[in-house]
Structure 1
């Protein structure tokens, strides 16, 4: 691939790895670490497999920093491989036909070549294999976005990742040549009494800046505006939109 056709390099592989490693460390060190998104995805995956009456023998789980999804998938005779951005390059080809099921939570949101990564995942599936990915969608974090804009005032910086919506997700799976695909989404609303608690929950889930170009730190005045825009005390309800991509390979 030459420079003219290469996808734009928005995200940093090193920062993706660092953010994921931090989440793994936080999950291991603190039994009270937030894992509600992992639990939501784990329950959803288990329900979908039961509904489709599928019993995959070889599963690959990516981005499960808390080990919740792998735990829900364990079954007699089932081989589960877990990976994260620190030991899996999603933009390079995989061996063909390795897995009956691939589950990804979150990491595809910070891949530079997302169409290429989806093609590699389809290649890694055996015939009849199933791919499921959960992403934080474009409807997420409206309160934090608003607070960040207020903090930066007239000089806004790109402090929150670009996110995809259901229409884009559907087009991406079609482009990756999955035989059939389904896209759906739902939202979770979580109450926070402080901005610090929200940021901690995001870090527990591996949600941090992985953009290649680091944004400038907030000034003292900007930090004050941020706290004012996200007041402590009464709960402020933040929204997490979970977009689920499901695709089958012939």
Structure 2
């Protein structure tokens, strides 16, 4: 039987990740926002996590903070150059080859929305967690970048897929529960960033590793298409000339099953506050 075609290119993914290794400090403005939010929510859990798996080596400050808490940290990274620079293992989230039930905590600060096998990735992470282990992560979710999407569909731009499909909150919660996580919770923080032009947004997306990695690789934009997209994006500006773009950061959590956990809520109900779900159990 023929294998289904892949949505994302692993080669483009690795190249984008390695490009992040060459960025100046602070170029990825989303990384500290996501890291601080994940760490704040992790701080709500009173137990200590002895063995942690971090997916993504781009945020060295996050890795340092985890080590400072005394956890034994393993990092997996899709970009070989970035992995070599940071001492991480090279690998993809949906094909991690590590001992099963070996981690108490898995942190994934971005990437669920751009793996080819989303359920498979979650199944693998569930298997890597010890009983009562926690998966805590984030990704750019449904409804993000509406002005960019509108500009990319303007007249004069070829109707070619250039933007990634997006995962919504309900689908994420259902996926977590369907692959065996208990107490799944998903919520969203909407972040508005105001840009002077389309080119500034593109620079931010590249710095955050969020540029196009679709497979097959779309044909490059022509100079006329670039001009049309930039013009259409600028046409959505506020009265001060700046364009407000939206990043919807979806945060999710799920626990590996354990007999002492509360009874799971019904399927599809994973929309409560993540802060509530992370409160310590009595």
Aligned length: 242
Per the TM alignment, residue 74 of structure 1 is displaced from its structure 2 partner at its CA by 2.8
Task: Select which of 12, 15, 25 maps to 1:31.
Answer: 25
What residue in structure 2 maps to residue 42 of structure 1? 35
What residue in structure 1 maps to residue 19 of structure 2? 22
Unaligned stretches of 5+ residues in structure 2:
80-89, 258-282
* 68 and 140 in structure 1: CA distance in 2 versus 1, 3 angstrom threshold: farther
What residue in structure 2 maps to residue 67 of structure 1? 60
Unaligned stretches of 5+ residues in structure 1:
none
Decide whether the 8 Å contact of 1:41 with 1:69 is kept in 2: no
| Residues 203-242 of structure 1: pairs in structure 2 closer than 5 A | 203-231=206-234, 234-242=241-249
TM-score (norm 2): 0.80
TM-score (norm 1): 0.90
| Residues 68-83 of structure 1: pairs in structure 2 closer than 5 A | 68-83=61-76
Are positions 1:13 and 2:17 aligned together? no
**C-alpha distance in 1 between matches for 2:45 and 2:71:** 17
Tell me whether 60-69 or 198-207 shows the greater mean CA deviation.
Answer: 60-69
Decide whether the 8 Å contact of 1:11 with 1:112 is kept in 2: yes
Per the TM alignment, residue 138 of structure 1 is displaced from its structure 2 partner at its CA by 1.2
Decide whether the 8 Å contact of 2:54 with 2:73 is kept in 1: yes
What residue in structure 1 maps to residue 254 of structure 2? 247
Decide whether the 8 Å contact of 1:137 with 1:163 is kept in 2: yes
Decide whether the 8 Å contact of 2:109 with 2:137 is kept in 1: yes
Classify the secondary structure of the residue corresponding to 1:33: coil
Decide whether the 8 Å contact of 1:151 with 1:223 is kept in 2: no
Task: Select which of 126, 129, 134 maps to 1:130.
Answer: 134
Per the TM alignment, residue 76 of structure 1 is displaced from its structure 2 partner at its CA by 4.5
List structure 1 segments (4+ residues) > 3 angstroms apart after TM superposition. none
Per the TM alignment, residue 67 of structure 1 is displaced from its structure 2 partner at its CA by 1.9
1:86-138 CA distance string (max 9 Å, x none):
31132335421111110112222221111011010011111111001211001
Per the TM alignment, residue 152 of structure 1 is displaced from its structure 2 partner at its CA by 4.5
Decide whether the 8 Å contact of 1:65 with 1:205 is kept in 2: no
Are positions 1:147 and 2:151 aligned together? yes
**C-alpha distance in 1 between matches for 2:71 and 2:78:** 23
Are positions 1:186 and 2:189 aligned together? yes
Are positions 1:120 and 2:136 aligned together? no
